[in-house]
Amino acid sequence: MILGELKSVIVTDITTVRPYVETKETKLVCNTTRRRSDTCEMTGDIRIHGSSSTIFVSTPVPVNSSWTINPYARKGDNGAMQNITNFTIKTIHERAEPMPKCTKTHNVPAVVFSVGGYSGNTFHAFSDTIIPLYATSRKFNRQVLFLVANKNARWTAKFRELLDKLSNYEIIDIDRENEVHCFPSMIIGLEKHDRKELNTGSMKDFTKFLRSSYSLERSTAIKLTNGSTRRRPRLLIVSRVKTRAFTNVKEVVTLAKETGFEVIVTEMNANLNQISRLVNSCDVMMGVHGAGLTNMVFLPENGVVIQVVPLGNMEWMAKTFYGEPAMGMGLSYLEYKVSEVESTLIDQYPLNHSVFEDPYSIQRKGWEAYRSVYMDKQDVKLDVVRFKEMLSKALQLFVPTAIHPTQCSVIDIKIVGGLPNFATHILQSQSPNSPILLIETPFNSISTAMATVTSNCSLLPHFCPTDFPSSSGSKPYRFASIPRTCRIRCQSTSTDEKRNKSRNVLDNASNLLTNFLSGGSIGSMPVAEGAVTDLFGKPLFFSLYDWFIEHGSVYKLAFGPKAFVVVSDPIVARYILRENAFSYDKGVLADILEPIMGKGLIPADLDTWKQRRRVIAPGFHTLYLEAMVQMFANCSERSISKLEKLLEAKNLQGGQEIELDLEAEFSNLALDIIGLGVFNYDFGSVTKESPVIKAVYGTLFEAEHRSTFYIPYWKFPLARWLVPRQRKFANDLKIINDCLDNLIKNAKETRQETDVEKLQQRDYSNLKDASLLRFLVDMRGVDVDDRQLRDDLMTMLIAGHETTAAVLTWVVFLLAQHPNKMKKAQAEIDAVVSQGGITLESLKKLEYVRLIISESLRLYPQPPLLIRRSLNSDRLPGGYKGDKEGYEIPAGTDLFISIYNLHRSPYFWENPNEFEPERFLVQRDNNNIEGWSGFDPSRSPGALYPNEVVSDFAFLPFGGGPRRCVGDQFALMESTIALTMLLQKFDVELKGSPDSVELVTGATIHTKSGLFCKLKKRSHAH
Tell me the C-alpha distance between 839 and 837, whole Å. 7
Cα 393 to chain center, whole Å? 26
pLDDT in tens, 36-52: 888 999 998 999 999 99
**Which helix (H) or strand (E) is 730 found in, with range?**
helix 724-749
> pLDDT category, 201, cuts 50, 70, 90?
low
Amino acid 333 reads Y
Name the pLDDT band for 403 (thresholds 50, 70, 90): very low
Arithmetic mean of pLDDT over the chain: 80
pLDDT in tens, 638-679: 999 999 999 998 888 888 999 999 999 998 899 899 989 998
pLDDT of 436 reads: 39
Q: Which tens digits make up the pLDDT trace of 483-527?
A: 333 333 333 323 233 333 355 555 555 555 555 555 555 667 888
pLDDT tops 60 at residue 402: no
Residue whose C-alpha is closest to residue 194's, from 318, 298, 321:
321
Most confident among 38-42, 83-87, 457-461, 847-851 (mean pLDDT): 847-851
As a whole number of angstroms, the distance between CA 341 and CA 605 comes to: 59
User: Would you place residue 244 in the very low, low, confident or very high pLDDT band (cuts 50, 70, 90)?
Assistant: confident
What average pLDDT does range 244-249 have in this prediction?
91
Q: pLDDT category, 561, cuts 50, 70, 90?
A: low
pLDDT over 70 percentage in the chain:
80
Least-confidence region, from 393-402, 760-769, 829-838: 393-402
Q: Residue 63, CB half-sphere, CA atoms under 13 Å: how many?
A: 8
Residue 297 banded pLDDT, cuts 50, 70, 90: very high
Question: Is residue 779 very low, low, confident or very high in pLDDT (cuts 50, 70, 90)?
Answer: confident
Average pLDDT of the segment spanning 603-624: 87
Distance CA 258, CA 256 (A): 5
In this structure, whether the domain defined by 203-395 belongs to CATH 1.10.10 is answered with no
- For residue 209, the model assigns a pLDDT of 92
* Contact criterion met (CB below 8 Å) for 730 and 695: no
Q: How confident is the model at residue 22 (pLDDT cuts 50, 70, 90)?
A: very low
pLDDT, tens digit, 9 for 90 and up, residues 839-867: 888 999 999 999 999 999 999 999 899 99
What's CA 7's distance to the chain center, in Å? Answer: 47
- pLDDT band of 4, cuts 50, 70, 90: very low
Q: Per-residue pLDDT averaged across 400-424, rounded?
A: 37
| Confidence check: pLDDT of 412 > 70 | no
pLDDT at 381 over 70: yes
Residue 414, strand partner residues? 438, 485
Instruction: Give percent above pLDDT 90 in the chain.
Output: 41
Tell me the pTM: 0.59
Helices 786-816 and 968-985 pack at an angle, to 10 degrees, of: 40
The strand pair at 145-149 and 172-173 is best described as: parallel
Give 709's pLDDT tier (boundaries 50, 70, 90).
low
- Mean pLDDT lowest for which of 84-98, 124-138, 972-986? 84-98
**What tens digit of pLDDT does each residue of 151-183 get?**
988 899 999 999 999 999 999 999 999 999 999
Distance CA(23)–CA(59), nearest Å, equals 14
With a CB cutoff of 8 Å and minimum separation 6, the contacts of 629 are 838, 839, 840, 843, 973, 977
Average pLDDT of the residues in 201-225: 87
Task: Give first-to-last CA distance, the chain, whole Å.
Answer: 60
Q: Which CATH number fits domain 616-858+969-1017: 3.30.565.10, 3.30.1360.30, 1.10.630.10, 1.10.1060.10?
A: 1.10.630.10
pLDDT at 199: 60
Element (H, E) at 541: helix 540-551
CATH 3.30.43.20 fits 505-593+863-956, yes or no: yes
Question: Which pLDDT belongs to residue 721?
Answer: 85
**For residue 385, what pLDDT band results from cuts at 50, 70 and 90?**
confident
The band of 615, judged by pLDDT with boundaries at 50, 70 and 90, is confident
pLDDT band at 751; cut points 50, 70, 90: confident
Cα-based distances in Å from 435 to 431, 443, 790: 6, 20, 55
What is residue 934's predicted lDDT score, i.e. its pLDDT? 92
pLDDT tens for 895-905 read 999 999 999 99
The closest alpha carbon to 101, from 194, 24, 178, 166, belongs to 178
Show me where the domains of the chain are located: 27-188, 203-395, 401-493, 505-593+863-956, 616-858+969-1017
pLDDT for residue 857: 96
pLDDT at 107 over 90: yes
SS3 169: coil
Q: Give residue 427's pLDDT.
A: 34
List the Cα angle 976/981/983 in 5-degree steps. Answer: 95
Mean pLDDT for 710-723 is: 78
Phi and psi torsions of 364, nearest 5°: -70, -15
Report residue 1020's pLDDT band, with 50, 70 and 90 as the boundaries: low
